[in-house]
Amino acid sequence: MSKIKPSQGAPYARIMGVGGYRPTRVVPNEVILETIDSSDEWIRSRSGIATRHWASEEETVAAMSVEASGKAIADAGITPEQIGAVIVSTVSHFKQTPAIATEIAHKVGTGRPAAFDISAGCAGFGYGLTLAKGMVVEGSAEYVLVIGVERLSDLTDKEDRATAFLFGDGAGAVIVGPSKVPAIGPTVWGSEGDKSETIKQTVAWDEFHAERPEKFPAITQEGQAVFRWAVFEMAKVAQQALDAAGISPEDLDVFIPHQANMRIIDSMVKTLKLPENVIVARDVETTGNTSAASIPLAMERLLATGQAKSGDTALVIGFGAGLVYAATVVTLP
């Protein structure tokens, strides 16, 4: 018989508060056209993107995260000292160690929480949310701060016609805490490593260090391959998440997919046969693709504008480099 004392966590977990931060500089397509041979019409038709935000030197990964976290903490109605863990999903923090989560935890004003980074690309928020749910239910933390943050302008090849217009910067954060009723459904997540070359960094850090190529490492992708995978495979994953939560598309109030591309979003809506009354996040038009930050930023905007409301049932799904994915059904804070 085991002598280990059983965990004493909450019966369930929920998102209690959400916050977002978008850099002050708004970059229209006209700026992108200064370095690539394209047109505003082509960019909009291919991606749905009209503008994106690019961070200034002062708007660091940590600074944006602290701003978003402060809003999420206030929205949740807790104090920073109550946070037992900080999870940061990002691919644009350039120090291998220490984790940026430790710096953010300190600047937010927490005590001595567990703090770590995860690298799961555009699915990172879903991965962090799932880890946070487990912590709350298991009892290792009562409240968990989950952050998705990116400065993808640092990793964008401004002369790459296929990707220069896609990426933006920003941070989104949520507080996950205890709940008496189910409010975060089972996560359907996974990876397809055989497709890892479709979205990748152009030069590995060790190669960059050894060879010092003229161009700094950037993110590149095989657009058509990613589009087909996202539309056909991720719609299946989204449906699996609905099934795991025991609901149908008709039960949904809101759909918040990763803000990768408007065409992908619209195709997923069609494939899932979502009813017309379901609110669909289309934050990509003015924010661009912010990878791990895109879902919490879109969630925050929907709630702030009144398009979605507290208590709504939402399907969230992230997918990207790896290729990795994560989908779950949540109750909005």
Q: Could you read off the pLDDT of 19-33 as tens digits, one per residue?
A: 999 999 999 999 999
Tell me the three state secondary structure of residue 275: coil
CA dist 7 → 10, 111, 196, 246 (Å): 10, 22, 37, 27
Tokens of 137: 């239910």
| pLDDT reported for residue 201 | 79
For residues 324-328, average pLDDT: 97
Instruction: Calculate the average pLDDT of the chain.
Output: 94
Check if the beta carbon of residue 218 is closer than 8 Å to that of residue 278.
no
Position 91, amino acid: V
pLDDT of residue 215 exceeding 90, the answer is no
pLDDT reported for residue 7: 77
Confidence of residue 197 (pLDDT cuts 50, 70, 90): confident
Helices 294-304 and 124-138 pack at an angle, to 10 degrees, of 80
Pairing of strands 188-191, 199-201: unpaired
pLDDT at 145 over 80: yes
Query: Region 1-22: what's the mean pLDDT?
Result: 90
pLDDT in the model for residue 176? 98
Note whether 318 and 122 are within 8 A (CB): yes
251 class by beta-carbon count within 10 Å (0-12 exposed, 13-18 middle, 19+ buried) = middle
Q: Does residue 275 carry a pLDDT above 90?
A: yes
CA dist., res. 110 & res. 88, Å (int): 15
Which sequence positions are flagged as catalytic? 122, 258, 289
pLDDT at 217 over 90: no
Contact 272, 282 (CB under 8 A): no
- Determine the average pLDDT of the residues in 134-138: 97
Predicted confidence band of residue 209 (pLDDT cuts 50, 70, 90) = low
Distance CA 137, CA 117 (A): 21
User: Confidence class of residue 309 from pLDDT cuts 50, 70 and 90?
Assistant: very high
* Interior angle at CA 91, CA 290 and CA 74, nearest 5: 60
- Alpha helices, H only, 276-332: 284-287, 294-304
Mean pLDDT value across residues 168-176: 98
Q: What is the mean pLDDT of residues 86-111?
A: 96
> What average pLDDT does this structure show over 98-123?
97
What is the token pair recorded at 79? 């104090």
Q: What is the DSSP string of 64-125?
A: HHHHHHHHHHHHHT--GGGEEEEEEE-S----SSS-HHHHHHHHHT--S-EEEEE--GGGHH
pLDDT band at 18 (very low <50, low <70, confident <90, very high): very high
Q: Is the pLDDT of residue 213 over 70?
A: no
**Element (DSSP H or E) covering residue 223:** helix 223-228
CA distances from 207 to 202, 203, 212, 213 (A): 10, 6, 8, 9
pLDDT band at 5 (very low <50, low <70, confident <90, very high): confident
pLDDT over threshold 90, residue 37: yes
Q: Which residue has the tokens 């700094």?
A: 216
Mean predicted confidence (pLDDT) in 235-253: 96
Q: Which tokens in the block code for residue 69? A: 């976290």
pLDDT of residue 305: 97
Give the Cα-Cα-Cα angle 234, 237, 242 (nearest 5 degrees): 130
Percent of the chain having pLDDT more than 90? 83
